[in-house]
Amino acid sequence: MGGGAANLVAYSAAKAAIVGMTNSLAREFGEDGIRVNAIAPGAVITPRQLELWYSEADVDAIVARQCLKERLLGSDIARVALFLAADDGRMITKQCLVIDAGLR
């Protein structure tokens, strides 16, 4: 999931905790056939973020740093969640899927 970033100690620690919790819960509930996964989204561009935090120049800079040169949208994250919930993902558990267009 990438290393920590300066001035983001609490954020980095929380993300690491999610990975640990996902691993523990998958082990705990696996015998009952319950799958536990996490999704770690990258810089998802939403109308609210454009309104409050990101300028078009900010978005262009984010996309330039990604391997895939397109805006990451909420629908991209939703598709992964649907895949994990469907039978197609029936044998996937204890994973943290990074969906970030190659940003990290």
Catalytic positions, written as ranges: 11
Q: Would you say 82 and 47 are in contact if contact means Cβ atoms under 8 Å apart?
A: no
What CA–CA distance (Å, rounded) separates 69 from 87? 30
Residue 103 C-beta-side C-alpha neighbours within 13 Å? 19
